[in-house]
Structure 1
Amino acid sequence: MGAIITSAMVLSACVTNVEEGNPEGWEAIVPAEVPEISALVPDEIAARGELTMGTNPPFAPFEFKDSDGSIIGMEVDLARAAAGVLGLELRPVEQDFAMILPAVSASTLDFGGSGFTDTEERRENYDFINFLYAGVQWAQQPGDNIDPDNACGLSVAVQRTTVSETDDVRPKSEDCIAQGKEPIEVLSYDSSDTAATALVLGRADAFSADSPITAWAVERSEGRMELTGEMFQAAPYGYAFTKNSELGYAFAQALQYLIESGDYADVLAQWNIEEGLLDQALINEAPIPAATDYLNP
């Protein structure tokens, strides 16, 4: 893996975690506190004055590090705007992706924000405050003719434990075996940029990731990658909170405020995300219920 990262930095910083910073024309969008919404924040968190968000850069444009090592990205910006509505500061906390949700359960993190797809399985233990719809998208080297629906015998790079691995590539590989064909060689990496770099260097035949991630990597690959096939498995993204928590409910109301004010669309537009936006805040793909129904199920 070390050789891959080093080579990638020589090839192009654009498919690694090395970025100059925010997009051209970017500006911070942090609304003032809205008292009737901030009043919903649990007292101990309000007294602390900050929200801790577990995240796993690099997963650009959702979250990654700039040249100074600060964690930035669309998902960070949106969470920071919601925190502003709640009268709080946002503190992103870098964590291994697979450990974020357990940390939320253990209350060592307030919530998780790391490109989480809101799935039925995850909903069994967490509530997701949805903020975007997107799907899975594959990429290939230019000129290849790879079909994501006919990839038996190929090698595909993914970020470990993401939906691309668990719900896309591994099930397809199992289907190949069931058909008596060669399985897909699943190349699992700790980060999406390393997986993309495996494709750039020819270590993998294809790269599977969430559609905004793949599009971002292709755009910055200087022609070394291209999209292949259509986006599929469209699903909601969400910030992960413990189930039926006061904080999750407050955050959902803050997001609803951002949608109504236009700040939500403005934050996403700065990262060139203009599709899959919501017209109302959702919890597990459902409109925000009354507080009495949500907090006392």
Structure 2
Amino acid sequence: MTSPTHPPRSPAGRRSGRPVRAVFAAVVAVASAVGLTACVTNTESANPEGWVSTLPAPDPALRELLPAGYRNGGTLTAGTNPTFPPNQFKAPDGRIIGFEVDLVNATAALLGLKVEFRQQDFNLILPSIDGGTVDIGASGFSDTEERQKSYDFVDFYTSGISWATTPGREVDPQNACGLTVAVQKGTYSDTDDVQVKADECAAAGKPALTKLVYESANAASTATALGRADAMSSDSAVTDYAIGRSKGKLVPAGDAFDTTPFGWAFGKGSDLVPAFAAALQKLIDSGEYRRILTPWGLTDGMIQTVTVNTAPPERSAETTPTLGDDDSSAGNTSGAGPTTDSEDQ
């Protein structure tokens, strides 16, 4: 079953919110992926300690909020790119797992629905919603004003941007000219953090900020642990996860900043949105939401009230508290090297 179709549109906008700046604004390095698995391991236990696989029973009242074709049950297709731990990533046995996966499954269960996660390139997920081949995008999407022009977002978590570096290295995210910084391609950190700072360095005539762009968050964190980058930039949950599993090879660099909500993407005007928002609110009110997030060490970014299409704050240098760093689970299996193709996602 699929949600209404809409005219195809190139996705814009944590994973990202602004148009990509010209390539000349930053030096985008190309390097080999050889050796990128040496320091940050790619396989650990499938889920964190304390994780329990339970799904809530369907709520008849919530099911009435669904479009008629879904009220007797069914399966939704969720587009996801499992290279973004701890949101979604692959366990050693190939299953797609993560805290966002857990939340989607629990929310759908309240509605009497099942979810089939379809692995896709990140930049194909939103067009797949347009084309009607997936019902929901569940892949660490930042709810941004640009994306809201074409999609509706049910916001489920709040995250900031955090940097990590190696022990003993002095790195200030707000004074990054002259540094080499690793990011995952198309993420908010790529286009709205590091690229913006690279442009500012160039405009001010300061030493260039070199950006290493990787296909996965795991590859970016590994490059940093190996010393190929001075620092990495990613969502706070992702950075804290990488630090926690690096065995001391990565440490925080400054505080989190640029708080933005994560949201599940639906086609603009999709009738699934009110039902998903109400079901997620019940998860929060019942305490199930906290139970799901606690084993992942992500309670600092929890929300109390579900919102749709939350307008993110303007970019600023103000900091927010760092998110939980009690993450421990399997690593991402991707080890792709950096690329010059920095698409908006």
TM-score (norm 1): 0.90
User: Contact 1:29–1:263 at 8 Å: present in 2 too?
Assistant: no
Q: Distance in 2 between matches of 1:225 and 1:12?
A: 9
User: Contact 2:136–2:266 at 8 Å: present in 1 too?
Assistant: yes
Q: CA shift at 1:19, angstroms?
A: 3.2
Amino acid in the other structure paired with 2:207: E
**RCO (CA 8 Å, sep 6+): is it higher in 1 or 2?**
2
Q: CA shift at 1:255, angstroms?
A: 0.4
Structure in which a larger fraction of residues adopt helix: 1
Of 46-55 and 270-279, the range deviating more from structure 2: 46-55
Structure 2 counterpart of 1:153, from 142, 160, 178: 178
Q: CA shift at 1:35, angstroms?
A: 1.1
Unaligned regions of 5+ residues in structure 1, if any?
287-297
User: Match of 1:295?
Assistant: none
Amino acid in the other structure paired with 2:257: F
Q: Distance in 1 between matches of 2:255 and 2:77?
A: 36
Structure 1 counterpart of 2:155, from 109, 119, 130: 130
Q: Distance in 2 between matches of 1:10 and 1:172?
A: 29
Q: CA shift at 1:205, angstroms?
A: 1.1
User: Match of 1:244?
Assistant: 269
User: Match of 1:116?
Assistant: 141
User: Match of 1:183?
Assistant: 208
Calculate the aligned-residue CA RMSD, in Å.
1.7
Structure 1 counterpart of 2:66, from 38, 41, 45: 41
Q: CA shift at 1:63, angstroms?
A: 0.7
Unaligned regions of 5+ residues in structure 2, if any?
1-29, 312-345
CA gap 1:240/1:202 in 2 versus in 1, 3 angstroms: same
Matched, 1:259 2:284: yes
Q: Distance in 1 between matches of 2:268 and 2:241?
A: 32
User: Match of 1:100?
Assistant: 125
Aligned residues between the structures:
282
Matched, 1:192 2:220: no
Q: CA shift at 1:235, angstroms?
A: 1.1
User: Contact 1:157–1:187 at 8 Å: present in 2 too?
Assistant: yes
Structure 2 counterpart of 1:74, from 99, 103, 110: 99
User: Match of 2:108?
Assistant: 83
Q: CA shift at 1:144, angstroms?
A: 0.3
Structure 1 counterpart of 2:252, from 215, 224, 227: 227
CA gap 1:197/1:46 in 2 versus in 1, 3 angstroms: farther
Q: CA shift at 1:3, angstroms?
A: 5.5
2:299 partner SS: coil
Q: CA shift at 1:145, angstroms?
A: 0.2
Q: Percent identity?
A: 46
Structure 1 counterpart of 2:77, from 52, 55, 58: 52
User: Contact 1:103–1:109 at 8 Å: present in 2 too?
Assistant: yes
Of 208-217 and 269-278, the range deviating more from structure 2: 269-278
Of 162-171 and 195-204, the range deviating more from structure 2: 195-204
Q: CA shift at 1:47, angstroms?
A: 6.1
2:37 partner SS: helix
Q: Structure 1 runs of 4+ off > 6 angstroms?
A: none
Q: Distance in 2 between matches of 1:233 and 1:44?
A: 39
Q: Distance in 1 between matches of 2:31 and 2:279?
A: 41
Q: Distance in 2 between matches of 1:12 and 1:158?
A: 15
Q: Distance in 2 between matches of 1:238 and 1:174?
A: 28
TM-score (norm 2): 0.78
User: Contact 1:29–1:267 at 8 Å: present in 2 too?
Assistant: no
